[in-house]
Amino acid sequence: MHYRELLLFLFKKLEHERSVNAVFHLLKGKKSAQTLQDAYLFQIENFYGIDRKLKKPTFDVYVRELTENRLVRVENDQAIVTEQGNQILRGRNFQSYYQIKGHKYHQIDREFKQGLILLIQTVSMLIHGENKFIPIVDQPYIQSRVREVLRDYSMQFDMIAEQLYGELHTALSTIDEHLATVLLKQCSGYARVGMSEQQIAVEENRNKEDLHLQTVAAIHNILDTITEQTEQYTLLTKLILKKTNRLTVSAQETFDFYQAGHTLEEIALIRQLKISTIQDHFVEIATHKKVFNIYSFISKQHLDEIQEAIQNTSTRKLKPIKEQLREEIDYFHIRLAIANMNDDKE
Amino acid sequence: MNSAISNDIDQALISLFGFKQFRVGQREIIESIRSGNHTLATLPTGSGKSICYQLPALIGEGMTVVVSPLISLMVDQVKLLKAQGIKRVASLNSMMNAKQKSAVIHRLDTYKLLYCSPEMLQQEQVQLALSNKTIDYFVIDEAHCISQWGHEFRPDFLRLKDVIKKLNNPTVLALSATATPSIRQDIIKQLELPMKQLVYPIDRPNITFSVDEVTPNNKDERLIDLIEQKNIPTMIYFSSRKVSEAIYRLLQNKFPEREVAYYHGGMEQDERLLIQQQFMNNQLDIICCTSAFGMGVNKSNIRLVIHYHMPSTIESFIQEVGRAGRDGKQSVSILLYAPGDEYLPFQLIQTELPTENEVNLFFSEDIHKQPEDYLNETKLRFLELQKEQHHTTDQNEQVQRVIQYRNDREQIKQQSIFKLVDWIKTGACRRARLFSHFQQDVSNAQYECCDCCDFRLEEWRNKPETYQKKNKPRKNNWEAMLGELLIKG
Ligand SMILES: Nc1ncnc2c1ncn2[C@@H]1O[C@H](COP(=O)(O)OP(=O)(O)OP(=O)(O)O)[C@@H](O)[C@H]1O
Ligand SMILES: [Mg+2]
Ligand SMILES: [Zn+2]
């Protein structure tokens, strides 16, 4: 898939609902309650945070291109997909593009990739007798992670090389051949420095952003494979840096108060924040935390009614759902109910 | 100097760096600072200035602080030393987060060499920590930056003298390949120290200089013709990031069998790292870059340095050309000049210095206008510094002085462009002219001299040349690549 098609797909998902920039924030993985909830609300959480280095000017160029090619119209800051645009989307399944899972992996994928690249380089150099080399990854915490892994294997480099080769070979055999090649081209080691995404893009006559998507897909696929059978991938799974907390800092703070026994209104008062802001936090908490008890905010009966309305309208857009429901059920309740439907909580 | 000490350093040269002999000037500079003289030394690009402080630092009792103007340069030096097995080195720079900085500060005792940006040395925490340590040497690498940048937008270069005092007056070594007599004077004045000057000639006898007069319309064509004939390790310098990328694309298209890349300050850190290492590892034939890939970059076999745009100063030109022929073999510098090219550097001045209007506006302190809204960062920093430097109670007077100063700087900058334009248009020996700003005599060219003497650019460029690439072609499927990386043999 091309980046521009992904954008087209995302604009379609947010059509008439959100601004053009919402897509930018989604791809960047903006840590705001709004962006996170939108991701789930519109079922585009797979793409949350998959391009954290995306720059606004680059994004704008893509939007301009889509408009110039009449695939999208921008009206009141919102992107409307044209008939031509719809034709491109028709009959194609973007939802699960290469099984990218941004919502699941956006916090660990880059570190995993860099750890992998550094481990490959280090092991490759060492088995070829090169113990003086410049590490291809700068970040100190990645370097120390890789050092730890080597120490776990008591620096038996030949053994590590064999195991690394074995695990990677099996893992890469399960994923798309082209994706595997794209990833391997970026790896450095003995006698060879890897290519940048930009360089591979030139070679393949694609955009740099397309290549980025493929790289992310490759990494997510590997993560899927190795986390499903951790006992088979003891070396590779060591490279996963655990970062479990998915809440924004502010939502975490609200959650702390809540767990300490404060009500929503009290927290707003203590934190000098608007009620609506705290409500945003609770929607975020409901999205991510298994331990959160939704019934302290909504009755079982109301929850059932909302779920029924969602099924009837077969949408996750708020307005049509609200219209089906009793007056006393407000938007906060609906958002909580939708958040509660996320089955990937921690 | 007694011979025991001399012996020491000969030993260290072999054991630490694996070199049998000092090159010109290295011994003298090392001995000078080891005897406690504050020293200002010039040596050509690629001559081995780094060793002049790295060696004494590593065999000294205490610690050595190295001030370096570019973060990338500093980070590279540290990585390089570590890769050589010299681990007791670190850097402190503004790219690091608070946690990383304080980790370095807490472990100061473990370092022999600490690279620091002038800005970091202004931080109280850093000063305090360093003042409790024995600092043997305080080194200023690329010391011409004190004089070139300090006055305009990096005032912390001018504040180094106070830092030196706070660190209990360690022996100072200032190094440069491009310090004219007046810059040397300015350095000494700014440091307020009596300095011994060890001024070695900085010309590069193995580089042949030439200028190719083109027209704005045929510049690209001439470049392509040249590259076509000369398949040798090449760097091409640009003053614009955008143009460097555009020409990169052009060359990539024209010469699919060559490895071309671009490098400039606007790229992501990861990507820069990859390109730089590909370059060092001989994987690239041609690199299109800006001055961000200049000072200090040390690769031995660059045969050709092309300037697609003229730089703004003779000094930058010498620095950039100085990437060529660091193995001592013949190398060629070609500056492509089209009439009117000087317009670009002149324009650049206007983005660096505030206009008279902007100066007035800045001092008027109109509360409705935030300086950030009408000044770019360079101009803002210039004005903030000048406000401080030209402080008087009479505001009118102050504004006049700043405007005067701004005009002076503009003139200096314009003159340095004119100097380079003169050099481009000269009919006399380019080597003699270029280095005449720095020294009286120039040594004879080792190969051909310049296009005004014995070098025939047309003849040379029409003679095809290729070089032996060290790298095997890349495998094209993942299995083969994986095997190549992780299976021995
Ligand atoms: N005595 C020596 N014998 C052999 N090689 C040396 C010696 N001293 C330095 N070198 C080598 O010369 C090269 C250039 O050294 P260095 O980078 O210090 O140059 P420099 O003077 O700092 O240049 P620039 O002004 O471009 O920064 C390095 O590869 C270094 O290892
Ligand atoms: Mg140097
Ligand atoms: Zn000459």
User: What are the DSSP calls for B239-285, one per residue?
Assistant: S-HHHHHHHHHHHHHH-TTS-EEEE-TTS-HHHHHHHHHHHHTT--S
Amino acid (one-letter) located at B7: N
**Residue B139 contacts residue B64 (beta carbons within 8 Å):** yes
pLDDT of residue B373: 82
Query: A259 and A189, same structural domain?
Result: no
Average pLDDT, chain A: 89
pTM recorded for the entire structure: 0.84
Residue B231 bridge partners (DSSP): B466
The order of strands in the sheet holding B113-116 is B89-92, B113-116, B63-67, B135-140, B171-176, B39-42, B196-199
Give the CATH number of the domain where residue B277 resides.
3.40.50.300
Rounded distance from Cα B201 to ligand 3 centre (Å): 16
Atom of ligand 1 nearest to the CA of B21: 1
Query: A200 and A139, same structural domain?
Result: yes
Give the mean model confidence (pLDDT) for residues B399-422. Answer: 93
List of residues 6+ apart from A227 with CB closer than 8 A: A237, A240
Phi–psi pair at B263, nearest 5 degrees = -150, 125
**Residue A28 contacts residue A49 (beta carbons within 8 Å):** yes
- Closest Cα in chain A, distance from residue B278 (Å): 6
Query: B236 and B186, same structural domain?
Result: no
Q: Distance (Å, rounded) from C-alpha A37 to C-alpha A21?
A: 15
Q: In the predicted model, is pLDDT for residue A137 greater than 70?
A: yes
Q: Which of A291, A212, A253, A288 is nearest to A47 (CA)?
A: A212
Q: Write out the residues of chain B at the interface with chain A, using a CB-CB cutoff of 8 A.
A: 75, 79-80, 82-85, 100, 249, 252, 261, 268-271, 273-275, 277-278, 281, 283, 471-472, 474, 476-479, 481-488
Query: B223 and B183, same structural domain?
Result: no
Atom of ligand 1 nearest to the CA of B322: 26
Phi–psi pair at B370, nearest 5 degrees = -80, 130
Q: Tell the residue number behind the tokens 């609506």, with chain if given.
A: A276
- Closest Cα in chain A, distance from residue B150 (Å): 30
- Number of Cβ within a 10 Å radius of residue B16: 18
* Of the listed ranges A100-104, A214-218, B35-39, B481-485, the one predicted with least confidence: A100-104
* Of the listed ranges A319-333, B46-60, B160-174, the one predicted with least confidence: A319-333
**More confident call, B289 vs B70:** B289
pLDDT of residue B268: 87
A vs B, Cβ pairs < 8 A, gives 89
Query: A233 and A113, same structural domain?
Result: yes
From A215, A237, A259, give the residue that closes a domain. A237
List of residues 6+ apart from B152 with CB closer than 8 A: B352, B353, B378, B381, B382, B385, B409
Query: B143 and B211, same structural domain?
Result: no
Q: Which ligand is nearest to the CA of B327?
A: 1
Quote the ipTM score: 0.85
pLDDT of residue A131: 87
Q: Distance (Å, rounded) from C-alpha B369 to C-alpha B363?
A: 11
Give the mean model confidence (pLDDT) for residues A6-33. Answer: 92
Q: In this structure, is residue A103 part of a structural domain?
A: no
Chain B positions in Cβ-Cβ contact with residue A197 (cut-off 8 Å):
271
Q: Distance (Å, rounded) from C-alpha B431 to C-alpha B451?
A: 10
pLDDT bucket at B150, cuts 50 / 70 / 90: confident
Query: B114 and B60, same structural domain?
Result: yes
Whether the CB of B22 sits within 6 Å of ligand 1: yes
Query: B185 and B230, same structural domain?
Result: no
Give the mean model confidence (pLDDT) for residues B447-474. Answer: 89
Q: In this structure, is residue B284 part of a structural domain?
A: yes
Q: In this structure, is residue B339 part of a structural domain?
A: yes
| Domain count within chain A | 3
Query: B132 and B12, same structural domain?
Result: yes
Q: In the predicted model, is pLDDT for residue B2 greater than 60?
A: no
Query: A126 and A226, same structural domain?
Result: yes
Q: In this structure, is residue B213 part of a structural domain?
A: yes
Partner-chain contact B79 A190, CB within 8 Å: no
Alpha helices in B132-195 (DSSP H): 144-149, 160-166, 181-191
pLDDT of residue A242: 66
Atom 29 in ligand 1: residue holding the nearest Cα: B298
Q: What is the DSSP string of B419-465?
A: HHHHHHH--S-HHHHHHTTT-S--PPPSS--BTTTT--HHHHHTS-E
pLDDT bucket at A160, cuts 50 / 70 / 90: very high
From A180, A210, A237, give the residue that closes a domain. A237
Q: Which of B485, B487, B488 has the most A C-beta neighbours within 10 Å, making it the best mutation to test the interface with A?
A: B485
pLDDT bucket at B207, cuts 50 / 70 / 90: very high
Amino acid (one-letter) located at A16: H
Its domain, for residue A73, covers 3-98
Q: Is A196 on the interface with B (CB under 8 A)?
A: yes
Across A123-132, A336-345, B92-101, which has the greatest mean pLDDT?
A123-132
Q: In the predicted model, is pLDDT for residue B424 greater than 90?
A: yes
Q: Which residue in the set A165, A188, A193 is minimally distant from B482, CB to CB?
A: A165
Q: Three-state SS for B264?
A: coil
Whether the CB of B45 sits within 6 Å of ligand 1: yes
Whether the CB of B19 sits within 6 Å of ligand 1: yes
Q: In this structure, is residue B399 part of a structural domain?
A: no
Q: Is A153 on the interface with B (CB under 8 A)?
A: no
Strand (E) or helix (H) holding B111: none
Query: B175 and B78, same structural domain?
Result: yes
- Closest Cα in chain B, distance from residue A31 (Å): 20
Rounded distance from Cα B421 to ligand 3 centre (Å): 17
Q: Which of B257, B252, B166 is nearest to B469 (CA)?
A: B257
Q: In this structure, is residue B460 part of a structural domain?
A: yes
- Closest Cα in chain B, distance from residue A233 (Å): 17
Q: Which of B331, B337, B371 is nearest to B354 (CA)?
A: B371
- Closest Cα in chain B, distance from residue A106 (Å): 18
Q: In the predicted model, is pLDDT for residue B310 greater than 70?
A: yes
Q: In the predicted model, is pLDDT for residue B389 greater than 70?
A: yes
Q: In this structure, is residue A104 part of a structural domain?
A: no
Query: B186 and B232, same structural domain?
Result: no
Rounded distance from Cα B453 to ligand 3 centre (Å): 4
Atom of ligand 1 nearest to the CA of B177: 25
CA angle (A290 as vertex; A289, A294 as ends), nearest 5: 85
Chain A positions in Cβ-Cβ contact with residue B92 (cut-off 8 Å):
none
* Beta-carbon neighbours within 5 Å of ion ligand 2: B 49, 296
Q: In the predicted model, is pLDDT for residue B455 greater than 50?
A: yes
Query: B64 and B187, same structural domain?
Result: yes
Q: Distance (Å, rounded) from C-alpha A108 to C-alpha A214?
A: 17
Chain B positions in Cβ-Cβ contact with residue A189 (cut-off 8 Å):
484-486
Q: In the predicted model, is pLDDT for residue B147 greater than 90?
A: no
Chain B positions in Cβ-Cβ contact with residue A158 (cut-off 8 Å):
488
Q: Count Cβ atoms within 10 A of the Cβ of residue B381 and give its class: 0-12 exposed, 13-18 middle, 19 or more buried.
A: middle
Q: Is A143 on the interface with B (CB under 8 A)?
A: no
Q: Distance (Å, rounded) from C-alpha A312 to C-alpha B151?
A: 71
From A40, A65, A98, give the residue that closes a domain. A98
- Closest Cα in chain B, distance from residue A50 (Å): 17
Q: Distance (Å, rounded) from C-alpha B73 to C-alpha B294?
A: 9
**Residue A189: DSSP 8-state:** B
The token duo for B158 is 């001018």
**Residue A166 contacts residue B461 (beta carbons within 8 Å):** no
| Domain count within chain B | 2
Whether the CB of B69 sits within 6 Å of ligand 1: no
Atom of ligand 1 nearest to the CA of B23: 1
- Closest Cα in chain B, distance from residue A275 (Å): 34
Termini Cα distance of chain A: 31
Whether the CB of B288 sits within 6 Å of ligand 1: no
Whether the CB of B301 sits within 6 Å of ligand 1: no
pLDDT bucket at A244, cuts 50 / 70 / 90: low
Residue of B nearest to A137 (CA): B270
Give the mean model confidence (pLDDT) for residues B344-358. Answer: 92
Give the mean model confidence (pLDDT) for residues A323-334. Answer: 89
Give the CATH number of the domain where residue A86 resides.
1.10.10.10
pLDDT bucket at B6, cuts 50 / 70 / 90: low
pLDDT of residue B364: 84
Q: Distance (Å, rounded) from C-alpha B235 to C-alpha B46?
A: 16
Q: Strands, DSSP E only, in B183-259?
A: 196-199, 207-213, 230-231, 234-237
Query: B229 and B183, same structural domain?
Result: no
Query: A327 and A232, same structural domain?
Result: no
* Helices and strands in chain A, H and E counts: 18, 2
* Beta-carbon neighbours within 5 Å of ion ligand 3: B 429, 431, 449-450, 453
Rounded distance from Cα B483 to ligand 3 centre (Å): 52
B355-383 pLDDT per residue, tens: 999 999 888 877 677 888 888 888 888 88
Phi–psi pair at B210, nearest 5 degrees = -155, 155
Query: B143 and B40, same structural domain?
Result: yes
Q: Which of B472, B486, B488 has the most A C-beta neighbours within 10 Å, making it the best mutation to test the interface with A?
A: B486
Q: In the predicted model, is pLDDT for residue B1 greater than 50?
A: no
Query: A163 and A118, same structural domain?
Result: yes
Query: A125 and A90, same structural domain?
Result: no
The order of strands in the sheet holding B331-337 is B207-213, B331-337, B304-307, B234-237, B286-289, B260-263
Strand A72-75 relative to strand A78-81: parallel, antiparallel, unpaired?
antiparallel
Give the mean model confidence (pLDDT) for residues B473-486. Answer: 90
Give the mean model confidence (pLDDT) for residues A120-131. Answer: 94
Query: B126 and B11, same structural domain?
Result: yes
Give the mean model confidence (pLDDT) for residues B246-263. Answer: 95
Q: Distance (Å, rounded) from C-alpha A39 to C-alpha A28?
A: 12
Q: Distance (Å, rounded) from C-alpha A120 to C-alpha A189?
A: 7
Query: A212 and A131, same structural domain?
Result: yes
Q: Tell the residue number behind the tokens 């460029």, with chain if given.
A: B461
Q: In this structure, is residue B365 part of a structural domain?
A: no
Q: Strands, DSSP E only, in B184-284?
A: 196-199, 207-213, 230-231, 234-237, 260-263
The token duo for B219 is 């510049």
Give the mean model confidence (pLDDT) for residues B315-327. Answer: 96
Chain A positions in Cβ-Cβ contact with residue B472 (cut-off 8 Å):
191
Give the mean model confidence (pLDDT) for residues B218-245. Answer: 96
Give the mean model confidence (pLDDT) for residues B174-188. Answer: 95
Rounded distance from Cα B113 to ligand 2 centre (Å): 15
Rounded distance from Cα B452 to ligand 3 centre (Å): 6
Q: In this structure, is residue B192 part of a structural domain?
A: yes
Atom 6 in ligand 1: residue holding the nearest Cα: B48
Q: In this structure, is residue B351 part of a structural domain?
A: no
Of all residues in chain B, the percent with pLDDT exceeding 70 is 98
Rounded distance from Cα B49 to ligand 1 centre (Å): 6
Query: A294 and A198, same structural domain?
Result: no
Partner-chain contact B488 A128, CB within 8 Å: yes
**Residue B89: DSSP 8-state:** E
Give the mean model confidence (pLDDT) for residues A253-260. Answer: 79
Its domain, for residue B144, covers 3-199
Whether the CB of B25 sits within 6 Å of ligand 1: no
Q: Which of A40, A92, A48, A96 is nearest to A221 (CA)?
A: A96
A52-86 pLDDT per residue, tens: 999 999 999 999 999 999 999 999 899 999 999 99
pLDDT of residue A138: 85
pLDDT of residue A235: 94
Whether the CB of B50 sits within 6 Å of ligand 1: yes
**More confident call, B170 vs A97:** B170
pLDDT of residue B135: 96
pLDDT bucket at A273, cuts 50 / 70 / 90: confident
Q: In this structure, is residue A243 part of a structural domain?
A: no
Strand (E) or helix (H) holding A197: helix A197-204
